[in-house]
Amino acid sequence: MENNIKLKIMDDLLAEGAYIPSPDVFVKLVNQNLPQGERRIRKDALNKLIKQLRDLIKNKRMALIYSQGGGYRYLRSDFRYFDDRISENERNLLLIANSLFSVFPGSGMNEQFSVAVNKILKQQSRKGEVLEMENFSPICLGPMQKDSGAVWLPKIVESMMNGKYGLDVEYFKQKEGVTKRVLSPYIIKQYASSWYLVAYDHFTDQTEKTKVFKLSRIVKIEESNSKFIHDPDFSVENYFKYTIGILHSHAEKPIKTKIQVISDNYFETWKDSPLHPSQLIIDDMSRIIEIETYKTSELYSLLLRYGSSIKVISPKEVINEIKKKLTAVAKHY
């Protein structure tokens, strides 16, 4: 359509609530936003463009109105005719998402995402500008340690998205050396600056076939000829329900650990940001909380982290294990 770029600019200005008190201002704003090399409009062409835009939006039961106090505007402030355009809010969301991709150092995914965002913004912006993404980081996630396993993330994500074939994986284990496996990847998770994969292990002899693998121990990944297997019992929501970090103990039931919080500061903090998603406040006055988790080394690491600021009340097996670990630590001093 002739004048399509000009109509889109007019639509942008009206949708974004620009104050357009007169035809002269409307012409000036349209010309300011035209890409380089595009023919500028004159005031006598504005009425023709406004008529074309009004005819278009009429099909959407919308009107472009003008008043002396409010200038040119759409009848409804949340309306936009050309819905392939990116609004300021949507643009900001893309920029924020680009910042969040900094959690993938070493994978190449953050660089690829920046290129993709730049292409979208260039295509959708009125003047075709390119924003240099590396100079725009509105969210600081703290120092991200590079994990050598991050290099496998693109292939794993591609397999997840495809969902047709599993992955042939060569995986290193301390006692077994390099083993060959066929995995159907379900989710990836980052914990303590390392990446982990939850996947269905096709040919394992173990009862639990959906397991956790550390990406830095993967030696090689290729697409498999084996079809992707969907474990009907797997649930993203439930898999880490009783896990503190990454370790599982599916053969055992989770245990409930009662903790008295000696430090008032920690207690107030954990009210807003629980120690674990399962946390319950048992006694507000005595500052007693309860968490339900698997009994793994991560549970003891969590409890020992807070030293004298907490006291484990139950169960007895956890208390005894804490005593044993504290005694072993004391021997070093």
Q: For residue 173, what pLDDT is reported?
A: 87
pLDDT over 80 at 208, yes or no: yes
Distance separating alpha carbons of residues 77 and 14, to the nearest angstrom: 8
- Confidence band (pLDDT; 50, 70, 90) for 233? confident
Contact yes or no for 214/196 (Cβ under 8 A): yes
Averaging pLDDT over each range in 115-119, 172-176, 205-209, 254-258, which range is the top one? 254-258
Q: What is the mean pLDDT of residues 84-92?
A: 70
Distance separating alpha carbons of residues 145 and 187, to the nearest angstrom: 20
Distance separating alpha carbons of residues 226 and 214, to the nearest angstrom: 22
Q: What is the pLDDT of residues 258-315, one digit of tens each?
A: 999 999 899 999 998 999 999 999 999 999 999 999 999 999 999 999 999 999 999 9
pLDDT over 80 at 66, yes or no: yes
- Confidence band (pLDDT; 50, 70, 90) for 140? low
Task: State residue 168 phi and psi, 5-degree precision.
Answer: -85, 120
The mean pLDDT value of the chain amounts to: 86
pLDDT over 70 at 5, yes or no: yes
Q: For residue 125, what pLDDT is reported?
A: 61
88 is written with which tokens? Answer: 């300021």
Distance separating alpha carbons of residues 150 and 105, to the nearest angstrom: 7
Whole-structure pTM value: 0.67
pLDDT over 60 at 217, yes or no: yes
Task: State residue 291 phi and psi, 5-degree precision.
Answer: -125, 150
pLDDT over 90 at 239, yes or no: no
pLDDT over 90 at 102, yes or no: no
- Confidence band (pLDDT; 50, 70, 90) for 165? very high
List, in order, residues 6 or more apart from 151 with CB less than 8 Å away: 106, 107, 108
Give CA separation, 112 vs 99, 104, 115, 144, in Å. 13, 11, 5, 18
> Lowest-confidence range among 80-89, 116-125, 270-279?
116-125
Contact yes or no for 254/305 (Cβ under 8 A): no
Residue with the larger pLDDT of the pair 66 and 91: 66
Q: For the chain, where are the alpha helices, taking DSSP H only?
A: 4-15, 23-33, 43-58, 88-100, 109-124, 153-162, 236-239, 264-272, 297-305, 316-330
Q: For residue 242, what pLDDT is reported?
A: 92
- Confidence band (pLDDT; 50, 70, 90) for 1? very low
Q: What is the mean pLDDT of residues 100-128?
A: 70
Q: What is the pLDDT of residues 192-207, one digit of tens each?
A: 888 999 999 999 888 8
Say which residue the tokens 């159907």 belong to. Answer: 184
Cis amide leading into 315 (omega within 30): yes
